[in-house]
Amino acid sequence: MKSKAAIFEAIGKPLIVDEIEVDDPGPGECLVKLEATGLCHTEIWYMGGGDNVDYEQLSPRILGHEGGGVVVKCGAGVTSLQEGDHVVPLYISECGTCPECRDPNTNLCSYLDDKGYYEGAMLDGRPRFRWRGRSAYHFMGTSTFSQYTVVPEVALAKIRPDAPLNRVCLLGCAITTGVGAALWTARVRPGDSVAVFGCGPIGLNVVQGARLALAEKIIAVDLKPERLQKAKELGATHLIDARKHGGNATAAVKSLTGGGADFIFEATGNTHVMRQAFEAVRYGGGKCVLIGVAKTGEEVSLVPRMLIAGRQLTGTAFGGCKGRTQLPWLVNWYMDGRLKIDALVTKEIPLTQINEAFAWMKQDQGYRYIVRYDM
């Protein structure tokens, strides 16, 4: 079947908006017709050269990992989904049976990894996409930059059909990552003090995750006043403009929390800010959670004594969310008004504008851009 898509062809080049061919789903796979997809900095990172340690820069490739759509065809053996189901593709699957799925403390299902999905193909070693006579590779198991995409059953979260797909598509990455970092990775408890370093599209969702967890102090740190105002809108109780502190908010956060916060989240990807964030958690159990992705080759350096005094450092991927089980909960919270998504949507665009939107994102304009395939 034919599908409109945005194709990655080479590092440093814009995506090519064109028509591709999508094959039928194989065993254990579903063909999904997407209504919308979010644009995430991960794609910008990949298009700029990515990280050759973990991924070969496969080409041509269909990027995208924040989709919302409807199942239009199920491959052989698919039992948990059927035609017409509304779904959000998951770049971290939930197979339910691997050691990680059976561990309540992690969401890092190893199914996609073990089966080679991250190599850009499905289980039989072949991609389901073709473009100009060549195979086009999958990306993160999701490939939401094609209106029709093929996704393994275990990487599709079934959601309630009344939820607007052009909003809950953002649960496929940013919203869940931020909210989940507070709820599942850190397990923020009522009354805790929380600081968020970096109030971009991820950090803002940590703020609302902390609010949902009933944190008492929610300190937002950023360099931009408009982002701090947005953080306030989403639940921040205290705002720190890091520019007023020489670019380092550590002392200000310690002062606001009587020595250090219970939890600090780093959502910039800057390794210097990671260190500042770590140094602002309280001794004796304060935890710093890294969310931002550092540039390839950059490392974070720490004074061991600060760890000896009981500070903890960890990180989160997809907010520790077990997608098939827990993502539908976030859909419910959105539908009943507890979780804010609309406030984060800057603009909806047709697929043809995708490269333009990436340019806006690189300039940190706005928050989230959504491609609607019906536009």
| Contact flag: residue 190 with a second copy (CB under 8 A) | no
| Contact flag: residue 301 with a second copy (CB under 8 A) | yes
| Contact flag: residue 332 with a second copy (CB under 8 A) | no
Q: How many residues belong to the site for a second copy (CB under 8 A)?
A: 40
| Contact flag: residue 304 with a second copy (CB under 8 A) | yes
By CB under 8 A, name the one of 56, 103, 114, 356 that touches a second copy: 103
Element (H, E) at 357: helix 354-362
Element (H, E) at 29: strand 29-38
The tokens of 114 are what? 């073990």
DSSP assignments along 53-98, one per residue: TT----SSB-----EEEEEEEE-TT--S--TT-EEEE-SS---SSS
By CB under 8 A, name the one of 162, 305, 336, 337 that touches a second copy: 305
By CB under 8 A, name the one of 223, 317, 345, 349 that touches a second copy: 317
Which residue reads 């195979």 in tokens? Answer: 135
| Contact flag: residue 300 with a second copy (CB under 8 A) | yes
By CB under 8 A, name the one of 290, 327, 331, 344 that touches a second copy: 290
| Contact flag: residue 356 with a second copy (CB under 8 A) | no
Burial annotation 146-167 (CB, 10 A radius, 16+ → b, else e):
bbbbbbbbbbbbbbeeebebbb
| Contact flag: residue 100 with a second copy (CB under 8 A) | yes
Cβ closest to a second copy, residue 298 vs residue 364: 298
Within 200-259, the residues that bind a second copy by CB under 8 A are none
| Contact flag: residue 313 with a second copy (CB under 8 A) | yes
Angle, CA 352 vertex, CA 348 and CA 357 arms, to 5°: 50
By CB under 8 A, name the one of 84, 102, 125, 308 that touches a second copy: 308
Cβ closest to a second copy, residue 1 vs residue 303: 303
Exposed / middle / buried, residue 118 (Cβ in 10 Å: 0-12, 13-18, 19+):
middle
3-state secondary structure of 344: helix
3-state secondary structure of 112: helix
CB of 232 to a second copy, least distance (A): 28
| Contact flag: residue 309 with a second copy (CB under 8 A) | yes
CB of 58 to a second copy, least distance (A): 19
CB of 152 to a second copy, least distance (A): 20
Say how far apart CA 337 and CA 88 lie, in whole Å: 19
Q: How many Cα atoms within 13 Å fall on the side-chain side of residue 124?
A: 8
| Contact flag: residue 315 with a second copy (CB under 8 A) | yes
CB of 222 to a second copy, least distance (A): 20
Nearest in space to 58 (alpha carbons), one of 123, 7, 1, 108: 7
| Contact flag: residue 307 with a second copy (CB under 8 A) | yes
Stretch that binds a second copy, among 74-82, 205-213, 237-245, 298-306 (CB under 8 A): 298-306
CB of 296 to a second copy, least distance (A): 9
Say how far apart CA 109 and CA 106 lie, in whole Å: 8
| Partners of 159 in beta bridges | 86
Cβ closest to a second copy, residue 225 vs residue 259: 259
Q: Which amino acid is at 55?
A: Y
Q: Which residues of this chain interact with a second copy, rule CB under 8 A?
A: 51, 54, 100, 103, 105-108, 185, 271, 274, 283-285, 290-294, 298-317, 320
